[in-house]
Amino acid sequence: MTAELLDPLLDASFKGYPRTQAPRALSAVGAAGWNVLAGDLPLPLALIRREALTHNLAWMQRYVQSQGIDLAPHGKTTMSPQLFARQIDAGAWGITFANVAQLAIGVAAGVRRCLIANQVMQDEDLAGIQQMLVAHEGLRVVFLVDSTAQLALIGAWAAAQADARPFEVMLEIGLDGGRTGCRTQEEAIALARALGASPAVRLVGIECYEGLWATGDSAADAALATALMDRVQAVARLCADENLFDTDEVLCSAGGSAVFDLVAGRLRPALGRPVRGLLRSGCYVTHDHGFYTRMVGQVNARIGCDCAEDGLRPAMEVWAAVQSCPEPRLAILTAGRRDVSFDITMPIPFARAVRGVQAPTGVPASWKITALNDQHAYLRWDESDDALAPVVGERVGLGISHPCTTFDKWRWMPVVDEAYNVVDAITTAF
C-alpha cells in the first residue's frame, strides 16, 4: 500500500493531466518534458513551486529547532503522501490528522508517529486504531479527550474487547465559544483524574488550539495565546504533581498556522520530567498569497524576520485561461469553486502569460476576482487599466488564500521549477 500511495499511476482521469498523454507513474512525471506555460497541460491547473516548497520545509524546521520543540504538521492541509514524506524527511517528529480515516492514509503511506487533533469515541474508529496498532510495529497514535462522556464510551468499547491496548490520549484545553476542549481548569483536572484511573487509556499529554482566534492584531493575539497557554501549563503541572501522566515523556501540543510563534515558546513547561513540545502548523508547507501571507507577516515582525524572502513563501498557484471577454472590464477565466479556495478570500491574480510566451509577467493592481461559479472566475479591473486588459486565450496565475481548501479540489498537482517546467508531482487522498 505504501508504494501505491507514494508512486501511483496517473492518467487523464486526474483533472489537469494531459488527455493526449499516456498514463505514467508519478515518479516518471518529471521526465515527461512538460512545461505549464507552453500549453503541455490543460487549464485550470493547480501547481506547486519547487523552490518555495523546499524553502518552507526548511524554514519551519529551523524555527521549531530554535524553540527547542518539534513539528507534527497537520496532514489535513495537504492529505498528500508525498508531502508527508518530505515533511518527515525534513525533520518532522510525526504528522497530525483530523480523524481516523485520514490517519489510515498516513499510516498506509508510512507515517509512524501520529496525532489525531480531535476526539475519537466511535466504536469503528476505536477498533480501526487498534487494528492499525497491531498491524504496524512501532506505530504510535495519540488522540484527544475532552470529557468524561467521551471517556465512558472509550471505556465501554475497551471493556468489551478481549485484548485491547490502552489508547494514548492527550487532554484538550478549550476556549469559550470555540470548538472542543475543557472550558475550565476544574473540569480539566477532574477529567485528568478520570483518565489517570481508567484502564482504557494512558494520559500522555496536554493539547490546545489557538489558531481559530487569530485576528492579526498582535496585542490581542498575544494576550489570548498567553492566557490559553497559562491554563495549559497550569493543568500540566497539576497532572504532573498528582502523577496522572502515564508516560516517560509528556507531550504538549498547540499551533495553528496563523500565530504559531505565540505558543511555540510555551510548549515545554517545567514538569520535573521530560516534555516534548509539538507544534502542529500545517499550512506553512505551501503558505499562500492571501490570509496566511497577512497573518504570517505579523509573525515575521514579532520574530524579527523582516524580509519577505526570509519568511514563508507562497508555493501553490492555480493557473487558468481567459475564455471570454463578454463586456467592458470583465474577463471570464476557466477556474471556479471546483478548482480554487474561496472560503476566506477570493483568488488573487498575480501573473499573466499570453499565448506563445512562457515567461509570466505581473498584472495591474486593479485586477480582482469578484465572483466564482463552479467552473468560472469573474476578473474585473479599473477603467484606467483598459490598455492592459486580458485577451481571450491568455493565461492568468491565481494566488490562493487558505491552502487546505485548494488541496482538496485536486487529486494531483505538478511540481514546477522557476521556469514552470514540470519536475515532479504530488497526489492527494481526501
Q: Would you state the pLDDT for residue 308?
A: 57
CATH topology of domain 1-49+311-427: Lyase, Ornithine Decarboxylase; Chain A, domain 1 (2.40.37)
Sketch the domain layout of the chain as residue ranges.
1-49+311-427, 68-282
Q: Would you state the pLDDT for residue 213?
A: 84
Q: Would you state the pLDDT for residue 309?
A: 63
DSSP class per residue in 311-337: S----EEEEEEEEEEEETTEEEES--T
Rounded Cα distance between 329 and 384, Å, is 10
Pairing of strands 368-372, 113-119: unpaired
> In 286-295, which positions are buried (b, 16+ CB within 10 angstroms) versus exposed (e)?
bbbbbbbbeb
Question: Which residue stretches of 207-354 are H helix?
Answer: 218-241, 261-264, 291-303
C-alpha cell at position 310: 526570509
> In 361-380, which positions are buried (b, 16+ CB within 10 angstroms) versus exposed (e)?
eebbeebebeebeebbbbbe
| Model-wide pTM > 0.85 | yes
The label of the residue with cell 504533581 reads 241
Tell me if 374 sits within 8 A of 335, measured CB to CB: no
Q: pLDDT tens track of the chain, all 430 residues?
A: 678 899 999 999 999 999 999 999 999 999 999 999 999 999 999 999 999 999 999 999 999 999 999 999 999 999 999 999 999 999 999 999 999 999 999 999 999 999 999 999 999 999 999 999 999 999 999 999 999 999 999 999 999 999 999 999 999 999 999 999 999 999 999 999 999 999 999 999 999 999 888 888 999 999 999 999 999 999 999 999 999 999 999 999 998 898 999 999 999 999 999 999 999 999 999 999 999 999 999 999 999 886 556 899 999 999 999 999 999 999 999 999 999 999 999 999 999 999 999 999 999 999 999 999 999 999 999 999 999 999 999 999 999 999 999 999 999 999 999 999 999 999 999 9
Q: Would you state the pLDDT for residue 310?
A: 82
Paired residues of 397 in beta bridges: 319, 351
Query: How many CB atoms within 10 Å of residue 62?
Result: 11
The three-state secondary structure class of 98 is coil
CATH topology of domain 68-282: TIM Barrel (3.20.20)
Rounded Cα distance between 289 and 293, Å, is 6
Query: How many CB atoms within 10 Å of residue 105?
Result: 20
Q: Would you state the pLDDT for residue 294?
A: 92
Q: Do domains 1-49+311-427 and 68-282 have the same CATH topology?
A: no
Residues 6+ positions from 11 with CB-CB distance below 8 Å: 17, 22, 23
Q: Would you state the pLDDT for residue 4?
A: 86
